[in-house]
């Protein structure tokens, strides 16, 4: 018996395009982001999901709605444990703006590794703890199923680290692009990666 998990990162938003920190906050999808969502929906149309777990942001909900459109009997559940790292007062700022406004806080965050955080935000250790709990619950509650998870880069990176016994500090080694798919089949003997960071091609003329 295997549990097949398909992890999807949302399409490009304006904050993504402008290279601004974006965690629990939201910004509108760009035109390219909407095309990415359409490409994800087309790529995943043949996959018969039984359930969808969705981070509760607009950008992830829009991706989930497109992927699940026209499917009968697929339950979609908003799950805050699959949210992106909360960026606190850095939300909506560029890295240069953070350095200009909060230089001491920025230096302290990167120096503290797993435990560094922006004021009002989450550390990587905290994000790792909640994503690990979400991953364990998914495998317990949906054993033998085919599960869609619509989420963000950091949770997908942390799941991959967990599958291979890597420290969460190594998460940045996994490239997870906007509008990408990562699929993992989990057996009793361990996980087998089907794909990492597959970005569906946008149809010509879209």
Cite the active site residues. 10, 84
- Helices 153-163 and 124-141: angle between axes, nearest 10 degrees: 70
Task: Name, in order, each residue with C-beta under 8 angstroms of 155's C-beta and a sequence gap of 6 or more.
Answer: 7, 55, 82, 83, 84, 127, 131, 134, 149
Q: Using an 8 Å Cβ cutoff, are 172 and 157 in contact?
A: yes
Task: Name, in order, each residue with C-beta under 8 angstroms of 31's C-beta and a sequence gap of 6 or more.
Answer: none
Q: What are phi and psi of 143, to 5 degrees?
A: -55, 130
Q: Using an 8 Å Cβ cutoff, are 156 and 174 in contact?
A: yes
Q: Using an 8 Å Cβ cutoff, are 134 and 148 in contact?
A: no
């Amino acid at each position: 018996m295997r549990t097949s998990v398909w992890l999807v990162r949302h399409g490009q938003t304006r904050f993504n395009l402008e290279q601004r920190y974006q965690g629990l906050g939201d910004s509108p999808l760009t035109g390219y982001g909407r095309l990415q969502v359409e490409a994800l929906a087309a790529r995943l149309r043949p996959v018969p999901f039984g359930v969808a777990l969705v981070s509760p942001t607009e950008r992830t909900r829009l991706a989930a709605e497109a992927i699940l459109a026209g499917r009968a009997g697929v339950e979609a559940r908003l799950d805050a444990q699959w949210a992106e790292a909360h960026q606190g007062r850095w939300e909506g700022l560029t890295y240069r703006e953070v350095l200009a406004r909060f230089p001491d806080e920025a230096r302290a965050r990167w120096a503290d590794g797993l435990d560094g955080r922006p004021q009002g935000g989450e550390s990587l250790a905290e994000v790792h703890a909640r994503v690990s709990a979400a991953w364990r619950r998914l495998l317990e509650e949906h054993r033998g199923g085919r599960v869609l998870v619509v989420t963000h880069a950091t949770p997908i990176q942390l799941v991959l680290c967990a599958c291979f016994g890597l420290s969460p500090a190594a998460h940045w080694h996994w490239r997870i692009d906007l509008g990408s798919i990562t699929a993992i089949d989990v057996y009793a003997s361990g996980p087998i990666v089907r794909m990492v960071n597959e970005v569906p091609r946008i149809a010509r003329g879209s």
